[in-house]
Chain A
Amino acid sequence: MLKFVSLLLALSCCQGLQHNNIDDYVEAEPVFQASKYGSLWPLPQKVQISEVSFKLTSASFRIVDAKASSAGPSCSLLQSAYRRYYEYMFGSAKKQWGSKNNRRSDPSDLTELQVWITSPDSECDGYPSVTSDESYELTVNQPVAVLKAPKVWGALHGLETFSQLVFEDEYGAKSINATIINDFPRFQHRGILLDNFLNYFLSWFIHTGNNGDEQNQCFPLAHSQRAAYHPYTHVYTPADVKMVIEFARLRGIRVVPEFDTPGHTQSWGKGQKDLLTPCYSGSKPSGSFGPVNPILNTTYDFMAKFFTEISTVFPDGYIHLGGDEVDFTCWKSNPDIQKFMEQQHFGEDYSKLESFYIQKLLDIVASTKKGYLVWQEVFDNGVKLKPDTVVHVWIGGRSDKEMSNVTAAGYTTILSAPWYLDYISYGQDWQKYYKVEPLNFEGTDEQKKLVIGGEACLWGEYVDATNLTPRLWPRASAVAERLWSAKNVTDIDDAFNRLSLHRCRMVERGIPAEPLFSSYCPREYKGV
């Protein structure tokens, strides 16, 4: 719905506290006014809306394949999108009255949207990737509206845009203005990171290798209660993951899994013996465990098997390998590690040991033919990265400096630092997310081109299914426009006006998106 193309399933753990007392609140009250762009969100690159308007009726309106389109009735991705958008626009078919017998139309009606996939390969059965063409052109005029796109991915965005152009007149009739739109995203990677580990733990892969069950394409479900919160109700099964990936594909969304090592791995240890480093208290093991043990061959055997499996389960070209926030105290306490440090001439520099581990891991993952994303620390520590590595910048404060350094070294990068949506505060914080300019750092044009996008992160300490949706929407939508629309789309008042309508549209579509400010939606959320 929001033209986000990547969804990160993160496997990590986090904590943070911040106290923030607001005593009196005084804020300029925003006043809603209709935008000349209606409710379009994110704003397309080029839009011309004319005064002329046409009626659409559920009885006569159809979305169809254009004759010349390279995708036809067999393209289920598009066919299901047609139905989805028809229902968004007119409500579900059940609510329609006598639609079949009654297919009369007024000459001023718009009766058809033709969808025309122009390139010979529509990519209908493929997966979206970081290089997918998402552009489209939409012409709404008599007698038919035409949506042209080289690939299905652009067509999906065009359908969303078309549905956003439809509005209700004062008598409740659906109308659309004659419109010409030419659209494409400013950035390729427009992501949302959801942190599942903490509240729903991906446990099924943890136990691989324990029983060498290789004929099973999937990882067995956890057999004990040790690893996941609960072995049946709190895990993702392979079927769940497949369902998520297909659901996302049908909406032009990539699913990028994150498996964060060597830190943030306490839960891995519960299912995989000897994977984690035993910490010592004096000369004896203390019984607790630290990061992944980087000195054992078995660690790398496990990782090789694990990532081979993962690379077949997740079709996307990229895997996120984490690599952030490694705590060295446990490694320091362990005599075997100390010995290894000596052998390798690492001295006392444990970041060298970390780099040693990451290097081996990256080589393993490279052999699966996948590209990888890593958190910025991996780059900061000077690990040798493949040229196509994507460095994920998350540390706030001087993220512009980091972007500058990463791109100067020739790596592509995505930005998350300003978009940590789990850090809530009172008031209209969407404006803060909206005002970010990702390319606002020192660097050449070549460097700027290496920024492929950004990600809104919603870490899970304080979030689960009870509050996820209203916390994410419409705040993440602010990030969506920054990543999709042209750089000069920065009018905050116009954004408020369009986003207010966009949030009511989400509510109507069943997404309980929270309000921007005192206001109302014609059809309030009733799912209480």
Chain B
Amino acid sequence: MDHLGTRKQETKSSGLLAVYSEEDSSVLPEEKYHRLANSTIHDLLEKLEEYGDSVEIDGFDVDYGNEVLTLKLGSLGTYVINKQTPNRQIWMSSPVSGPARFDWDQTAQAWIYRRTKGDLVKVLETELEQLCGKSINLSST
């Protein structure tokens, strides 16, 4: 099997095995991806830290290391949000909805999980309100 390279490779079975080309205009260029993903994750980090100060959750902790955002909510569970650069995605693991993979949608200007059409930021807002009993605004101004 090839590693990430400049050829697009198709499979018969799942279509998930693909190698992205920098020249392919339908794929987010890596530099742009990093800018968008980093900005989204850093923004989340800030807002989640503030949220932590305003809610009474035992064991609340937000940690960011090695480009992985870990949000602990004590006994309510743990979120892990990270970049998955080869796929140009942001991956999230949620104690409510399980694993999800978000792609940048240029039209929506948002990270969208294709299977559910869920928006990363909105999913988090909804779930956190549900879990912690207090609403949170994670959308950028």
Is A bound to B?
no
